[in-house]
Amino acid sequence: MTLRTRKSFQFRLAVSFIGIIFLALLLMGVFSFPALKRVYISHLEENLRQEALLIGEVVREKLPDEKAIQNLALLAARDTGARVTIVDQQGSVLGDSEKDPRQMENHGQRPEIKEALAGKTGVAQRFSSTLGYQMLYVAVPVESSGEVKAVVRMSLPLNEVAKLQWYLALILLISFLMAGGAGIFAGIVLARRLTAPLCEMTEVVEDMASGNLERRVYYHEDDVIGKLAKSFNRMADTLAAKMRQISDVTNRLKTVLNTTGNGFLLINGAGKVEYANPAFVRIFRIPPDTSLLGRNYLEVAGCYELARIVEAVISSKKPQSREITLYGRGEQVLAVQGVPVLDEGDFLKGVLLVVNDITQLKRLEQVRKDFVADVSHELKTPITVIRGFAETILEEPENTEAVTEFSRIIYNEAGRMEKIIKNLLDLSKLETGNVQLKREPLSLRSIAEEAGRFLKQKHDFFLELQGDGVAMVDYDLFLQVFLNLFDNAIKYSRPPARIEVSFEENKSKVFVKVKDEGIGIPERELPRVFERFYRVDKARSRKTGGTGLGLAIVKHIIELHGGEVGVQSRLGQGSVFYFTVPTMLPCGQNG
């Protein structure tokens, strides 16, 4: 609070106090002055009445001696200082201290006289034509034997009252001025006393608004303002502690955002950039000294794939994740996640984009896939040769028992390795997308029957089919799906294995379930059964020739057709492998 503002506040407060004091004094004067006048006149009336009663006692003894009554009026007027008039019961003046009674008119119709003749004390104020100024009249009856015989009237000019009134007004004015001066002094002192801590609090608030949270209010009185000052200081302590906590969290968050490898871009509801961390600037190769705040995010990133993600987040108000490739930057691959920023009313305030450069990971993954394909291809020929020679040795009649056994082991293991290599080559093609799908509307039941007929040449099992479904699939690949699922069920079931296959078709997809009565899968292992080389019972898999790649191939074939795959199982109670496949081609694809 500036000095000028502080003085202005003190001045207004002091003026308010002074105004209240003067208003109270003015109201007191307005109401007390007439009251004092009424009290004084009432007191004067009572004095005149008492004097008139005393004179009436003497008049009763003097009646009907008019001369004695006139002398009594003169004597009473000289003693009391008031005009004394005595009239009989007909209103005729018997005596008067100011005029000759014989020359005075009948007073019987005067109001105060009429009241007194009626047996009451009469009081009146009026202008006296006889004397020429305002008079106060008090008349009392003089009774004898229960009958009013005469009236004693006493009167005083009210010009004396006016003088007294001005005297009282002067006294009141002096009193008001003295009280007003004391009030002004008290108002100024009180205003300064009240405004000092308030002004200090205002200055502290201004300092806190400027960032200084260490200043406090020092006021030690135990009054309302003192309690306010203590509460204010407690609030300042709490606010300072909260600000320190917020500052610590902000600094930690800033450190994380500045050092993380993930790029963060915060966009407001108008599509303007509110924050971008260094990783985002580095990923999109933006010059470090470029100002990004307030600019359109498309102008900053220069990638319209981001716009599709942002629009999807805005329309759904749900997180969206996609991989985008920036071909103009050496096929840079980015994993982008868009997250809606909502307020308490579920109103969209903006979008947070989290960008991770996975180009190197994609390249390493491609190198791995190429390596698997190359190694598998290179191993295919020597494995075939080894198996051929082992088969030739087995057919020699001169072999010893040991040579025959070892040759059979070499032949079987070479066959197993050949199968692994074939599966690896198939899986590599599926992963790299180097598979040309030949889609056509086919009955999935008929494909399953064909797979069953093929496996029954080697295994003894029961196959039960329920329902049917027609979908746009590649015959060879889906034959491999059913072969792998049936082979998996046979290997992990007690012979003869029993397999139940059900088909359920709706407008958009076919739902297929393959149920067996095998050993089952532990619940903790279920998320991993579709991983390559993963086997629940490794010893049994080696004994039966399992490669651990069949279910991984099934998963890739189903996903390549736009479907989903899953499993339900409990240990010792068999398993249910299920998948879905669309009944029609997805948009943008052809057969």
pLDDT tens-digit map of 175-204: 777 776 776 777 677 666 666 676 777 777
pLDDT tens digit sequence for 336-395 = 888 888 887 778 888 888 888 877 777 766 666 665 565 555 566 676 766 676 667 666
Q: Is the pLDDT of residue 244 over 70?
A: yes
Residue 111: asked if its preceding bond is cis (omega within 30°), the reply is no
- Taking residues 444-451, what's their average pLDDT? 90
For residue 587, the model assigns a pLDDT of 45
pLDDT tens digit sequence for 470-492 = 988 888 888 888 988 998 888 88
pLDDT tens digit sequence for 491-517 = 888 888 899 999 998 888 999 999 998
Selection from 357, 351, 358 nearest residue 283 by Cα: 357
Q: Are 469 and 512 in contact (CB under 8 A)?
A: yes
Q: In this structure, what token pair is assigned to residue 118? A: 């009626």
- Taking residues 60-73, what's their average pLDDT? 83
Report the distance separating Cα 130 and Cα 76, nearest Å: 20
E-strand spans in 227-357? 263-268, 273-276, 320-326, 332-342, 348-357
Among 185-189, 234-238, 432-436, the minimum mean pLDDT is found in 432-436
For residue 503, the model assigns a pLDDT of 92
pLDDT tens digit sequence for 16-36 = 666 776 676 667 666 666 666
Q: Are 411 and 386 in contact (CB under 8 A)?
A: no
- Taking residues 566-585, what's their average pLDDT? 86
Lookup result for tokens 């991989």: 323
Selection from 525, 552, 523, 555 nearest residue 537 by Cα: 525
Residue 105 DSSP code: P
If residue 237 lies in a helix (H) or strand (E), which one and from where to where?
helix 224-259
Report the distance separating Cα 128 and Cα 528, nearest Å: 128
Residue 397: asked if its preceding bond is cis (omega within 30°), the reply is no
Q: What is the dihedral of CA 114, 115, 121, 126, to 10 degrees?
A: -70
Other Cβ atoms less than 10 A from the Cβ of 536: the count is: 21
Q: Is the pLDDT of residue 118 over 80?
A: yes
Selection from 126, 100, 99, 98 nearest residue 111 by Cα: 126
- Taking residues 296-307, what's their average pLDDT? 77
For residue 545, the model assigns a pLDDT of 47
Other Cβ atoms less than 10 A from the Cβ of 311: the count is: 13
Distances (CA, A) of 456 to 348, 418, 496: 60, 22, 11
Q: In this structure, what token pair is assigned to residue 441? A: 């509307």
For residue 542, the model assigns a pLDDT of 46
Task: Indicate the pLDDT class of residue 63, thresholds 50, 70 and 90.
Answer: confident
**Strand-strand pairing, 497-505 and 461-466:** parallel
Full-prediction pTM beyond 0.85? no
Selection from 478, 451, 468 nearest residue 503 by Cα: 468
Report the distance separating Cα 525 and Cα 536, nearest Å: 7
Q: Is the pLDDT of residue 154 over 50?
A: yes
Give burial (CB, 10 Å; 0-12/13-18/19+) of 85. buried
For residue 3, the model assigns a pLDDT of 47
Cβ contacts of 339 within 8 Å, gap of 6 or more: 313, 319, 351, 352, 353, 354
Report the distance separating Cα 350 and Cα 292, nearest Å: 16
Among 57-61, 400-404, 425-429, the minimum mean pLDDT is found in 425-429
Task: Indicate the pLDDT class of residue 591, thresholds 50, 70 and 90.
Answer: very low
Among 41-50, 52-61, 130-139, the minimum mean pLDDT is found in 130-139
Report the distance separating Cα 481 and Cα 372, nearest Å: 22
Task: Indicate the pLDDT class of residue 560, thresholds 50, 70 and 90.
Answer: confident
Task: Indicate the pLDDT class of residue 579, thresholds 50, 70 and 90.
Answer: very high
For residue 1, the model assigns a pLDDT of 45
For residue 577, the model assigns a pLDDT of 92
The chain-wide mean pLDDT, for the chain, equals 77
- Taking residues 2-17, what's their average pLDDT? 58
Selection from 195, 107, 109, 214 nearest residue 152 by Cα: 107
Angle between helices 359-394 and 401-432 (to 10 degrees): 150
